[in-house]
Structure 1
Amino acid sequence: MHIDWAALGSVFGVSLGITVALVGLFTLGIVGLSKREAATAGAPSSGGGSTPVAARTGAYVCFALCAAAVAYGIYLIVA
């Protein structure tokens, strides 16, 4: 049995990179929603000057990109 270590390392590296990117993107979405909640509750802003609409839109874009990446991964597995 022959193991192609270069291909295995490449798959590991890409998987690790995509995982970190997706977790970061999802985290940005959560932060966007929490900023929206803080802005609508009247809490003082923690530095950013974003409006609740911009924060909500950014969060939804982050979640949509996460869903698209997951759907593409499922497509690659099925196809």
Structure 2
Amino acid sequence: MTINWGALLLVAGVSLAVTVIVVALVAFAMVGFSARESGPQSALSPAAGTAVGYACLAVVTLIVLFGLGIVAKDVLAHLFG
């Protein structure tokens, strides 16, 4: 049994990058939603903050669904193919 180190490093790198992107998008969504709170330090209007929050969460949802679709396709191909 041999290990394909190139493929392993590629998967690890993509996993790390996607994790960082998802965490950053959720953090930006939280910042956007926090603009709805009344405070003098808010750089966004409440409407813009809400829009940014929902947009970031929509992108995160698409990323997660894409990953689940890849896994489901492979599992179904293994089971029925």
TM-score between both structures, scaled by the size of structure 1: 0.87
Consecutive unaligned residues of structure 2, counting only runs of 5 or more, are 74-81
Consecutive unaligned residues of structure 1, counting only runs of 5 or more, are none
Q: Which protein, 1 or 2, shows the higher relative CO under an 8 Å CA cutoff with sep ≥ 6?
A: 1
Q: Aligned AA for 1:32?
A: G
Could you list the structure 1 runs, at least 4 aligned residues long, displaced by more than 3 angstroms after superposition: none
> Using the alignment, how far apart are the partners of 2:33 and 2:49 within structure 1?
6
Matched, 1:45 2:45: no
> Using the alignment, how far apart are the partners of 2:67 and 2:26 within structure 1?
16
Give aligned pairs, total.
73
Partner in structure 1 of residue 10 of structure 2: 10
Matched, 1:63 2:57: yes
Following TM superposition, by how much is the alpha carbon of 1:45 offset from its aligned partner in structure 2, in angstroms?
2.0
